Amino acid sequence: MPAAPTILFAGDLVGGLGRRTLLGLLPSLRERYAPDFVVVNGENIAGGLGITPKLADELFAGGVDAITLGNHTYRRQEINAYLDSGKPIVRPANYLASQPGKGFTIVEKGGVRLGVVNLSGNLHLRAGRVAFLEIDNVLAELDGKVDHVLVDMHAELTSEKIAMGWYLDGRVTAVVGTHTHVPTADLRVLPGGTAYITDVGMTGPRGGVLGVKKEQSIQSLRTHMNVRFETSEDDPWINAVVIRCAEQPRRAAAIEQVLAPWRPAPAAGSRF
């Protein structure tokens, strides 16, 4: 592995379609971008809310190196023990220390060590501690143990994510925003050498509303009544970024957006 590895980070995988989209496109993405590390946000993978051990294992078996989560971390109770099993899956570091899981993990390939950190925004999301204080503790713990650091800032407000990018500029390799499911156009390498994007976007059904069947979302907005949301199956896309690390530790050389449709092969026996 080169001293300056490449990281592929895929935005929020939504439902089974999001999982299939990632795994279906990953071979061609590996051929095109040659990522050394593959990291995904998987907090919406189980029917649009949460993640299960079975689904996490499927991602790992498919070539994912680390999974980040967010505000739906604990939607499925069966994930709680899994988060403490030592697998490279992380929940926001600024959750309560008493809650299952850890906020960072270290994955290593070819002698290169990548620290993967998950943070939750504090504005409009429920997090037990202040993200801007907790990240200092995490970086102190990672000091001397990693070559590069990727931070997934899972937050509602663009302002909070942008502020975190500036706060960590020159201290981590990349700060990637997740949660809002819509890719932003502000990706860049900040002056201190940190790759940044406010939101990577969503891997899953672009034909829905943030992953939900569009008819159900529209009905809810029109009637102001409770509507049972289901994951859309329309127009699957991957939203991701490729981060080219610099040879200097905790610095990036470039960040590139990956927005691509997935067209699964027709089922056996299909006429189309």
Instruction: List per-residue pLDDT tens for the chain, 272 residues long.
Output: 557 999 999 999 999 999 999 999 999 999 999 999 999 999 999 988 899 999 999 999 999 999 999 999 999 999 999 999 999 999 999 999 999 999 999 999 999 999 999 999 998 888 889 999 999 999 999 999 999 999 999 999 999 999 999 999 999 999 999 999 999 999 999 999 999 999 999 999 998 888 888 888 888 889 998 888 888 888 899 999 999 999 999 999 999 999 999 987 765 554 43
Domains of the chain: 6-261 (3.60.21.10)
The whole-angstrom separation of Cα 43 and Cα 91 is 9
Residue 210, token pair as written in the block: 């943030």
Instruction: Note if 179 is an active site residue.
Output: no
Q: Which residues of 152-180 are buried (b: 16+ CB within 10 A; e: fewer)?
A: bbbbbbeebbbbbbeebbebbbbbbbbbb
Q: For residue 91, count other CB atoms closer than 10 A to its CB.
A: 26
Catalytic residue chosen out of the listed positions 72, 148, 154, 181: 72
pLDDT value, residue 219: 87
Kindly calculate the radius of gyration of the chain based on its CA atoms and give it in whole angstroms: 18
The whole-angstrom separation of Cα 205 and Cα 272 is 21
Residue 231, token pair as written in the block: 């994951």
Amino acid letter, residue 186: D
pLDDT value, residue 270: 43
pLDDT value, residue 216: 81
Phi, psi of 265 (to 5 degrees): -65, 145
